[in-house]
Chains A and B, each alone.
Chain A
Amino acid sequence: MEHQLFCCEVDTIRRAYQDSNLLNDRVLQTMLKAEENYLPSPNYFKCVQKEIVPKMRKIVATWMLEVCEEQKCEEEVFPLAMNYLDRFLSVEPTKKTRLQLLGATCMFLASKMKETVPLTAEKLCIYTDNSVRPGELLQMELLALNKLKWDLASVTPHDFIEHFLAKLPIHQSSKQILRKHAQTFVALCATDVNFIASPPSMIAAGSVAAAVQGLYLKSTDSCLSSQNLTNFLSQVIRSDPDCLRSCQEQIESLLESSLRQAQQHISTETKRVEEDVDLSCTPTDVRDINI
């Protein structure tokens, strides 16, 4: 009889169930009050940074997102890491050669805050194509913590999504896919510099509204019609409905442009592979930053 290999791996991460006590209005109001404390400066490229420009942030953000996806990190890790990155860059002038180190450090910290089994220093260094050494990462961790004043409990759009979903008249089966779509929009916003100044509650509301729109859930319930939903969510987050509408439109156009870019990227990648060009072994070539 031949030897057979059995794969007995199972998902070993045990999750706590959603605590319904945390979905009450007192918590929501506290989060709305707290979120402003964690907003980065929207004009740090002009006021603080001498070398870093928005394009570089985009490149490092895309790399960070790919690492988080490949490592199957919790959904909040990436937006939280981007919040740390922006807050750091709001106060500390940084050389462009250290931007990837900073990105890795922010993922390292966000992962420790949100995951049961966080990313290791060693693994993150491998993702930088070993351009960052573990010792540097640990030094940078301490520097980042000091610049962030050790306050890592940033309010993120993810914290709001659950509150909004709990308030919407949507069937449980639809909620799952709606949550997934909204989370995708949140990640997309985190990669884009135009959303740096937007409060997490606004991004979350815009993402949920865009997801409802995209999934055509509005046809199932009049409460979910574009107008009604925007009015309802803007009341919940105590914001102007027009602001929320424009945020939603921005998110939708960001999705369109990123889909276009993805299409172009696929076609150029195909050409490059045909021409047998050497590809970087990191998910996105962050070495471009130094150009």
Chain B
Amino acid sequence: MESTADTDLEPLKLKSLKTDRTFVIPHSERLGKCRSVKEFEKINRIGEGTYGIVYRARDTRTNEIVALKKVRMDKEKDGIPISSLREINLLIRLRHPNIVELKEVVVGSHLESLFLVMSYCEQDLASLLENMQSPFSEAQVKCIVLQLLKGLAYLHHNFILHRDLKVSNLLMTDKGCVKIADFGLARVYGIPLQPMTPRVVTLWYRAPELLLGTKTQTTALDMWAVGCIFAELLAHKPLLPGASEIQQLDLIVQLLGTPNESIWPGFSRLPLVGQYSLRKQPYNNLKNKFTWLSEAGLRLLNLLFMYNPQRRATAIDCLESSYFKEKPLPCEPELMPTFPHHRNKRSASETEHQTKRSKV
């Protein structure tokens, strides 16, 4: 894929329509930013999800540590998959401290390989929760949830739904910065026929309207997932760990009571309502589940777990919640504890036989 450029090009000048001033395009920029994956050194494998392999790697140009995700293209007779193209195009323009950054897209030596260069985060919340000796303090939970809400508010403001929020899609740097990852990437990479782990296609964070077959997906889907994540961080275990869609609905009903038309207008017209016979359970048990949580905390949880999507709290509503203004106050991200890098330990043992720093 060589450039067809000549070396003796005149400088390229453009005129700004707004200021009417002329500016020169730097020579390095004028031919795009095509880079080869050979410019990255693989350090270790950090995961294998629905999408393929993710490596921790070093950018030899800047010495920066990055995450390299491979987009599989081996069976594509029509080039870059349509979903990948749209998702990359979306991600490359999103810039927010609480959203994982897609720095660039680089290519392998053949058309078959395309790599996404992402900012590297040392932890993901799922493996943190699995490996932590003691649970997060409430101040730390507030710090994490606040950052999640800020990232989500940015996404929703830009008309983007994540649709797959869960603890394994929340990353954290050693500086305590939480970043939302992998939105839409389930579609980019395609879910394999046999999921690698049960968590890949988890139902635990799925909103009731989705389980009941709603045709209109809204930002409220993500807010339900925020409620599940918030509760999981507080309780140090998943709130609604259903093994099937019917069981997932049943767990929701046990916790929040049986939905009906008066609290959720349009509920009875949802496509799959007829397929389930929901147990009659008139009580909301959130208070019994989180006995130690303040009134403001319970109010926030209840707003996130509203059955009616139109009445469910938005990310902006949540950021205004008095829960984050009462004691214990959210701790500063920099003051979050640091944790051992489990992913790297695990990967190192997997790749012991490989040379320490081979080329990708």
- Interfacial residues, chain A to chain B (CB-CB below 8 A): 21-22, 36, 39, 41-43, 47-48, 50, 90-95, 98, 108-109, 112-113, 118, 120-122, 134, 137-139, 141-143, 145-153, 197, 199
Contact = CB atoms under 8 A, between A and B. Distances in A.
B341 interface: no
B74 to A, nearest CB: 13
A153 B111 contact: no
Contacts of B18: 36
Contacts of B320: none
B12 A149 contact: no
Contact of A41 (B14, B34, B78, B111): B14
Contact of B4 (A22, A94, A108): A94
6 contacts: A138-B79, A145-B80, A146-B32, A146-B33, A147-B31, A151-B93
Interface stretch (B84-92, B173-181, B246-254, B332-340): B84-92
B32 A48 contact: no
B30 to A, nearest CB: 5
B17 interface: yes
Interface in B30-55: 30-34
A147 B4 CA distance: 12
Given A92-B30, A143-B34, A151-B92, 10 more contacts: A47-B12, A92-B32, A93-B6, A139-B111, A145-B80, A147-B32, A148-B32, A150-B88, A151-B93, A153-B93
Contacts of A109: 85
Given A147-B31, A150-B105, A120 B6 contact: no
Contact of A92 (B4, B13, B79, B159): B4
B34 A146 contact: yes
A121 B32 contact: no
B1 A47 contact: no
B34 A91 contact: no
Residue among A36, A48, A118 facing the most chain B CB atoms (10 A cut-off): A48
A93 to B, nearest CB: 5
Interface of B: 1, 3-6, 9-10, 12-18, 25, 30-34, 77-80, 82, 85-86, 88-90, 92-93, 104-105, 107, 111, 159
Contacts of B104: 150
Contact of A50 (B6, B16, B30): B6
Contacts of B12: 41, 47-48, 90-91
Nearest to B73: A138
Contacts of B32: 91-92, 146-149
A51 to B, nearest CB: 10
B18 to A, nearest CB: 7
Given A92-B31, A113-B86, A142 B10 contact: no
Contacts of A143: 1, 34
Contacts of A43: 13
Contacts of A22: 159
A134 B82 CA distance: 17
Given A149-B32, A149-B33, A141 B17 contact: no
Nearest to A33: B18
B133 to A, nearest CB: 43
A150 B89 contact: yes
Nearest to A88: B32
A92 B2 CA distance: 11
Contacts of A134: 77
